[in-house]
């Protein structure tokens, strides 16, 4: 009885320790931008360094702004990356081209 309980308790701890790196998490998010919508994959991340790779899958210029930082304007078919350090919280993102956010190029990104 005592032996069985000890083994069961020890196993999950060992697995968790091997999967959790000691350094801060680094996340990658792929962002597709088009008229007039963003698609993020995934839509959330752990806090730490998050790199957004933004591809313009539309026909006109777009950019991607989050946490006060933005990519340059991205031409159709081109990509840009933006790395930001995010704390826990919910961050709104948008395209800063006039009218685009209002048309739907905005959303919320969750950081845990």
Contacts with Cu ion, residue ranges (CB under 5 A): 62, 95, 97, 100, 105
> In this complex, which beta carbon is closest to Cu ion, that of residue 43 or of residue 59?
59
- Give min distance, CB of 12 to Cu ion, in A: 45
- Give min distance, CB of 82 to Cu ion, in A: 15
Residue showing tokens 């792929």: 30
Contact 40, 110 (CB under 8 A): no
- Give min distance, CB of 68 to Cu ion, in A: 18
> In this complex, which beta carbon is closest to Cu ion, that of residue 24 or of residue 102?
102
- Give min distance, CB of 100 to Cu ion, in A: 3
CA neighbor of 96 nearest in space, from 60, 71, 79: 71
> In this complex, which beta carbon is closest to Cu ion, that of residue 84 or of residue 97?
97
> In this complex, which beta carbon is closest to Cu ion, that of residue 58 or of residue 86?
58
In the chain the beta strands, taken as DSSP E runs, fall at 25-34, 37-41, 44-45, 48-56, 65-66, 69-70, 79-86, 89-94, 106-111
């Amino acid at each position: 009885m005592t032996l069985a309980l000890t083994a069961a308790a020890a196993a999950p701890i060992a697995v968790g320790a091997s999967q959790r790196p000691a350094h801060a998490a680094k996340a990658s998010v792929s962002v597709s931008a088009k008229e007039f919508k963003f698609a993020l994959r995934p839509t959330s991340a752990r806090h730490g360094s998050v790199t957004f790779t933004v591809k313009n899958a539309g026909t006109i210029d777009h950019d991607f702004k989050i946490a006060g930082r933005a990519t340059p304007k991205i031409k159709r078919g081109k990509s840009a990356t933006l790395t930001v350090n995010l704390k826990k919280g919910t961050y709104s993102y948008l395209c800063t081209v006039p009218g685009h956010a209002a048309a739907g190029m905005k959303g919320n990104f969750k950081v845990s």
